[in-house]
Structure 1
Amino acid sequence: MSAGQLCRFAEVPDGGARVIDEERAGRPVVVVRRGQQVWAYVNRCPHFSVQLDFEPGTVSCYRSQVLMCAHHSALFRFDDGQCIDGPCTGSALEAVPVKVDEKAWVALV
């Protein structure tokens, strides 16, 4: 793995999420995937500035569309990080630009 590579594309479950630790990404990041698309967000809920995973490394996702903050049940869309339900409706997760590189790694842009 070289600098900027977060994880292999195949390590992010389709319709799910993978938490990347601060050591790899420079800050805790959640990578989400739907089909061939991936997005990444800073692992911090805008409502109360806590990580989205209650149990380290486990982020709940529903219908391959939204991820949920384990602390407040806020729901965030995969494709733009926008909160669509919960205590921070209208807020958004902080996006981390990523791409899938030629070797099938999810990498920082």
Structure 2
Amino acid sequence: MLTGKQKRHLRALAHHLQPIFQVGKGGTNEQLVRHIEEAIEVRELIKLSVLNNCMDDPREIGAEVAKASGCELVQVIGKTIVLYKRSSEEKYRKIELPSPKR
């Protein structure tokens, strides 16, 4: 679970990223989730965009994809979804999160 401070940090890092996946009128499926899992392992932080022809709510899509792929939902703003997951391999770890307050 991410703290507010960590989410703010990730939102700032994601600001300059371009969406690498698009969710269209077909919605989400296993293939999309598998591609997201592969990409997030290498990148740690990714953006998805929900196309205008998709009738599903972007917040629901974000929650569904995050749960299915084991990611943290950082932000849903408009039709853009930001996801984060720490890489399991040391060589891909680039993002250092601020430590949570205790």
TM-score of the superposed pair, with normalisation by structure 1: 0.27
Larger RCO of the pair (alpha carbons < 8 Å, separation 6+) = 2
Considering fraction of residues, name the structure with more strand: 1
Bigger-Rg structure (1/2): 2
Considering fraction of residues, name the structure with more helix: 2
